[in-house]
Every structure is written in C-alpha cells, then in structure tokens.
C-alpha cells in the first residue's frame, strides 16, 4: 500500500509507514479502493483548489487572476497525482489547467486589449 502522508510504498503487512511512521489504514490500501477521493480528491488539495478556481474563473471580473492561479495549481496538482497515484485528483487538475488556462488567457487578453484600446484612444 502507499502511505497516505508521504506516498511511500509500503508492504501491505506494515502497520506503520517505513519512512514517516504514519499509521497506515487498510481503507487506503490501494488506489481505487477509496471512491470518495475519486469524486473529491481531498488528498490532492492543489488539484481540488485548481478545480474550484477554474469554476470561478468563468466570472469575467475575477476570471483573469483566478484562471492563471487555476492553471498553475492544476499543473502542480497533476504533478502530485503523478508522484502520488493514491492522492488522485487528475481529472480535477486537468479541469483546472484547461478551463482555468482558457479563461485566464482569454480574460487577461481582454484586459490587455482594453488597456491598449484605452491608451490608443487618447
């Protein structure tokens, strides 16, 4: 099983993690045995935050900074999901990267366009 704290692979017989001494629970024995973390990847906070930031990045006024933040956190979440498969959150991280990246870039572009247009009008 993988340690829920540090991600180190331990023998299933181990009661505690060999690296960080975290108590290993049989509930988190292997990836796929924890349906809650598939829907809500609470072990991959970066992916979860990226997902929510991406959802709110749809709002025009705050979409630019939120979208960029979602993109950055989404990439970090993807990295964490790759290093710690038991943390999950890959789908949430991808939504953060794609949706956040899209709205972040679009709204930032609109802001820059607005500023340039305003400056050129003078």
Residue-wise DSSP of 51-89: HHHHHHTTSHHHHHHHHHHHHHHHHHHHHHHHH-GGG--
Is 20 a binder of Zn ion (CB under 5 A)? yes
User: Which residue in the block uniquely carries the two structure tokens 């970066």?
Assistant: 46
Residues 37-96 that bind Zn ion (CB under 5 A): none
Phi, psi of 22 (to 5 degrees): -65, 135
Is 6 a binder of Zn ion (CB under 5 A)? Answer: yes
Indicate left, alpha or beta for 27 from its phi (over 0: left) and psi (-120 to 50: alpha): alpha
Q: Is 17 in the site for Zn ion (CB under 5 A)?
A: yes
Window contacting Zn ion (CB under 5 A); options: 7-15, 48-56, 66-74, 95-103 = 7-15
**Nearest distance in Å: CB 20, Zn ion:** 3
> Which tokens go with 80?
């964490």
With CB under 5 A, what is the number of residues at the site for Zn ion? 8
Nearer to Zn ion, 57 or 80 (CB): 80
Residues of the shown chain interacting with Zn ion in the complex, contacts defined by CB under 5 A: 3, 5-6, 8, 17, 19-20, 22
């Amino acid at each position: 099983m993988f340690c829920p704290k540090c991600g180190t692979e331990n023998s299933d017989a181990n009661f505690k993690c060999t690296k960080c001494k975290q108590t290993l629970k049989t509930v988190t024995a292997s990836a796929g045995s924890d349906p809650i973390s598939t829907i809500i990847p609470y072990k991959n906070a970066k992916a979860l935050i990226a997902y929510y930031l991406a959802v709110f990045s749809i709002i025009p006024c705050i979409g630019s900074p939120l979208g960029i933040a979602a993109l950055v956190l989404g990439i970090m979440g993807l990295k964490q999901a790759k290093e710690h498969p038991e943390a999950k959150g890959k789908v949430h991280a991808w939504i953060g990267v794609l949706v956040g990246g899209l709205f972040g870039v679009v709204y930032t572009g609109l802001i820059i366009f607005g500023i340039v247009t305003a400056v050129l009008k003078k």
